Chains A and B, each alone.
Chain A
Amino acid sequence: MQQAAALGTLRRRLPTNVGDAVFAAAVRASGAFVLILLGAIIMSLFIGGLPAFRRFGVGFITSTDWDPVKQIFGAAVSIYGTLITSVLALVLAVPLAFGIAFYLTELAPTWLRRPVGTAVELLAAIPSIIYGMWGFFVIVPVMGQIIEPWVIDAIGDIPVIGNLFQGPPFGTGIATAAIILAIMVIPFIAATMRDVFDTVPPVYKESAYGLGCTTWEVMRSIVLPYTRVSVIGSIMLGLGRALGETMAVTFVIGNTDRISTSLFGPSNTIASIVALEFPESPAGSLKLSSLLALGFILFVISFIVLAISRLLLRPRLGA
């Protein structure tokens, strides 16, 4: 009788142990899969770009030539375009995003916080191609007909600085791409900053208010010092987003293979040149390999930026 009962539990326990082992193995395998996925992405881009790296060597990164006829390809123009548009975008986006995050955490009445916060998050959800079409239809004419002629008239003749604002006002170009990118990364930076600001213990802020600090003083002397590292992390997150943005930039940057000293001049970015030139790059060609090599470079740049961003955000957001 007792033996039968023991046998029964044994029989019942056996499959459950197997179930546990199978489940544990499956989730472990999926975890490993994520690591393999990242490795595979890096490897596939590197292997694809290898012929271009072999052919041009380090010169691939420093050369500004992009000549499909002569089969000479260099990455410098696109790397420059990618970096300058992203950095300019941050210069425009960070003050606005900070303002929104400050408003949402300290200033807004409680009933307004959720709707405004949701609206900002919806801005982040709009697909990139929509930003491209909207930018081309709304921002490009405003830039080309109003802002650029005005700026060129006002400061285009000043030596040195004026060089940044010269040339015909096409409307498309580096400055317009930076503006679109800024609009696209504002919601990411603002939402992350808001979450970071929310981690400040209320008692710190209340103590400062109790001492008679104004809202701005609380922000400047309590919240910002407390969250400094993570605020930089949220900005880096925005930078990571801006670097790889493709469709919106493709619509408005003008797409040329030259380095433009003027911010109103056309250029291209790594992502935009890959998207535009890919259809004319047959499999196995040196051009396709060059595009994959560009993809590899973009991956390395954005991986470094995003990795730093996560490192800085981790203590506050636990990510």
Chain B
Amino acid sequence: MLGRRRKRRNIVMEALCIAATIIGLLLLASILTTLLWLGVGGLSATVFTSVTKPPGSHGGLLNAIIGTLVQTAIGTVIGTPIGMMVGTYLAEYGGSSFISSAIRYVSDVLLSAPSILIGLFIYQLIVQPMGGFSGLAGSLALAVIVIPIVVRTTEDMLRLIPVSLREAAAALGAPKWKVIVLVCYRAARDGIMTGVLLAVARIAGETAPLLFTSLGNLNWSISLTRPMASLPVTIYQYSGSAFADWVQLAWTGALLITAGVLATNIIARLLLRGSR
């Protein structure tokens, strides 16, 4: 009798867990189908060739797409080297000292810190002293988000490299920095690239930090010292509007950004799997 009760409880718990997993997968499916359903209808060449325009005049999203590409690129280019250096310090120099565990700790906290606060920080640090919103400020806010992601993967990947490889290089007379740059970085390249791609995917969809830094711009501008448009901020502005064509563009933009983010994510995972 006891056996039967235990078995029944086991079946119930297993069923609940499978149900939880199915709910999770259905949520993903629901989000993706909603985006496809509402977004595909608005896909046309105009979206990519025309800038945002007043409602009713067949605008596109060109400036928003370019703005997102520019700010994501600059944010990645600034954040990646810093993140790699910090990760290198943690894996190769810091050891288990107090200061290095403090840095690791702070970096991990920054990894999950609310991105809206990073926007407020850059607003205080850059936007107010410079006297205006700018694409540069937006890029810097995104760079701050990139750093902890790259720190984490760089450290993890460098730790996976066998000590014998380092010793072999050192035995040939290579100084430590050359061992790291020419041997370790090369061996960890795919892993670090994965981290960078995940960071790109993360910042490309960020909205909150850009609201206070690059602000958004409905006109064509690629000047880094002026407010700059971005897909997420434009989507935010458009989706709350009362104009049907703006709302349609918002959904199309949402589809584009999600497709880009998920594709980057999947490429990053394939890269890591291919290297193992």
| Interface residues in chain A, defined as those with a beta carbon under 8 Å from any beta carbon in chain B | 16-17, 19-20, 22-24, 26-35, 37-38, 40-41, 44-45, 47-48, 95-100, 102-104, 107-108, 116, 118-123, 125-131, 133-134, 136-138, 183, 186-187, 190, 214-217, 219, 237, 240-241, 243-247, 271, 274-275, 278, 283, 291-292, 295, 298-299, 302-303, 306-307, 309-310, 319
Contacts and interface: CB of A to CB of B under 8 A. Distances in A.
A82 to B, nearest CB: 10
B250 interface: yes
Nearest to B94: A31
Interface in B133-149: 144, 147-148
Interface centre among A16, A103, A240 (most CB of B within 10 A): A103
Contact of B19 (A27, A38, A99): A99
B40 interface: no
B121 A45 contact: yes
Contacts of B235: 129, 133
B10 interface: yes
B32 to A, nearest CB: 9
Interface centre among B16, B117, B124, B258 (most CB of A within 10 A): B117
9 contacts: A31-B86, A31-B100, A45-B117, A99-B21, A128-B207, A130-B258, A244-B117, A295-B117, A319-B108
Contacts of B208: 128, 246-247, 271, 275
Contacts of A32: 103
Contacts of B211: 275, 278
A98 to B, nearest CB: 8
A41 B121 contact: yes
A29 B128 CA distance: 27
A214 B6 contact: yes
Contacts of B193: none
A119 B112 CA distance: 21
B89 A216 contact: no
A276 to B, nearest CB: 10
B15 to A, nearest CB: 10
Interface stretch (B41-49, B59-67, B70-78, B176-184): B176-184
A298 B117 contact: yes
Contacts of A241: 112
A20 B147 CA distance: 23
B117 A33 contact: no
A107 B113 contact: no
Contacts of A283: 128
A41 B114 contact: no
A34 B110 contact: yes
Interface string B24-59: 110110110011001000000000000000000000
A134 B31 contact: yes
Contacts of B10: 214-217
A307 B109 contact: yes
A27 B89 contact: yes
A41 B14 CA distance: 45
Nearest to B93: A27
Interface in B77-129: 82, 85-86, 88-90, 92-94, 99-100, 102-110, 112-118, 120-121, 124-125, 128
A299 B206 contact: no
A116 B124 contact: no
A252 to B, nearest CB: 12
B248 interface: no
Contacts of A99: 16-21
A26 B128 CA distance: 30
A300 to B, nearest CB: 11
A30 B85 contact: yes
Given A31-B94, A137-B38, A295-B120, 6 more contacts: A45-B121, A47-B124, A129-B235, A216-B13, A246-B114, A302-B114
Ranked 10 nearest A-B pairs via Cβ: A244-B114, A127-B205, A99-B20, A23-B177, A30-B85, A214-B10, A99-B17, A27-B89, A44-B124, A246-B208
B262 interface: yes
B121 A40 contact: yes
B53 to A, nearest CB: 21
A32 B235 CA distance: 37
B114 A243 contact: yes
Contacts of B21: 99-100, 103-104, 108, 116
B110 A38 contact: yes
B122 to A, nearest CB: 9
Nearest to A19: B177
B120 A34 contact: no
